[in-house]
Amino acid sequence: MMKKRFFAVLALPAILAACASNTESEPTNSMITNTDLAAYNWVLNKVDGNELEIAEPFQVPNLQLSTDLGANGHAGCNRYFGQAELNEGKLRIENMGMTMMACPEPAMELERVMSATLMDWSTATVAGNQLTLTGIEHTLTFTRTDAE
């Protein structure tokens, strides 16, 4: 009886180690790809965790990406366009161009936050129908809809 317990005690760490090595080899968080982002209209619904309240006649900001990551959308006051880059889970729009209308606050502040976050490298995560861009200063949360 003593030998059986001794072998069971010795075998238990080996079994636990085998189980642990199997879970460690499985990816815990997959990196997003172009196909996770492209061909959708991403509508901004939160900035820094706060729900957006858009007054009429202003449009809700959005982000559209083509399969080659051509980017365009509405930033709060003006339309923008550019070429997005995706690198190791981070996203930015390089050389972003924008129309130049002036709008009253808070539309201009929202546009400053959105355009600054899109132009800098932001960590991009997709969970279900939500895209979150976490930048240096702000976090933008979008909801996915079909591309228009």
**51-58 long-range contacts, Cβ below 8 Å, gap at least 24?**
52/110, 55/106, 55/107, 58/103, 58/107
How far apart CA 51 and CA 45 sit, in angstroms, is 6
Tell me the pLDDT tens digit for each residue of 95-146: 899 999 988 888 899 999 999 999 999 999 999 999 999 999 999 999 998 7
- CB contact at 8 A, 121 and 92: yes
39 dihedral zone (left: phi>0; alpha: psi -120 to 50; beta): left
- Comparing CA positions, the residue from 60, 65, 74 lying closest to residue 94 is 65
Predicted local distance difference test score (pLDDT) of residue 30: 58
Predicted local distance difference test score (pLDDT) of residue 20: 40
Please give the structure tokens belonging to residue 94.
């390089």
As a whole number, the mean pLDDT across the chain is 81
Cis peptide preceding 13, ω within 30 of 0: no
The secondary structure of residue 30, as a DSSP letter, is P
How far apart CA 131 and CA 143 sit, in angstroms, is 6
Tell me the pLDDT tens digit for each residue of 32-87: 777 778 878 999 999 999 999 887 778 899 999 998 999 999 998 899 999 999 99
